[in-house]
Amino acid sequence: MIHAKRRLAKIKREHFRQHGGLLLFEEMKSRQGLSFALFTQEELEQATNRFDERNVIGKGGNGTVYRGTIAKDNGAVVAIKRCRLATERQKKEFGKEMLILSQINHRNIVKLYGCCLEVEVPMLVYKYIPNGTLYRLIHGGEGGASARRIPFAARVRIAHQAAEALAYLHSWASPPIIHGDVKTSNILLDEDYAAKVSDFGASTLAPADAAQFVTFVQGTCGYLDPEYMRTCRLTDKSDVYSFGVVLLELLTCRKALNLEELEEEKYLSSQFLLAVGEGRLGEILDPQIKGEQSMEVLEQVAELAKQCLEISGEKRPSMREVAEELDRLGKLSLHPWGQPNSGELAALLGGSPSMAADSDQIELSTSTRNISFSDTAYIGIRSPR
Binding residues: 81
Buried-exposed string 48-82: b where 16+ CB fall within 10 A, e elsewhere: beebeeebebbebebbbbbbbbbeeeeeeebbbbb
Tell the burial category of 130 from Cβ atoms under 10 Å away from its Cβ (0-12, 13-18, 19+): exposed
Contact in structure between 288 and 280 (CB atoms under 8 Å): no
DSSP code of residue 310: -
Distance between CA atoms of residues 107 and 258, nearest Å: 32
Residues annotated in the binding site for ATP, as ranges? 81
Name the residue among 240, 180, 242 with its Cα closest to residue 205.
Answer: 180
Q: Which of 181, 190, 236, 286 is catalytic?
A: 181
209 is catalytic: no
Strand ranges (E), 84-173? 112-116, 123-127, 140-141, 144-146
Helix 152-171 × helix 236-252 angle, to 10°: 170
Q: How many CB atoms are located within 10 Å of the residue 384 CB?
A: 12
**Which residues are CB-neighbours of 278 under 8 A, at least 6 positions away?**
none
DSSP code of residue 347: H
Distance between CA atoms of residues 131 and 308, nearest Å: 28
**Which residues are CB-neighbours of 324 under 8 A, at least 6 positions away?**
none
Contact in structure between 54 and 45 (CB atoms under 8 Å): no
Distance between CA atoms of residues 29 and 209, nearest Å: 30
What are the phi and psi torsion angles at 81 (to 5°)?
A: -105, 120
DSSP code of residue 317: P
Query: What positions carry a catalytic annotation?
Result: 181
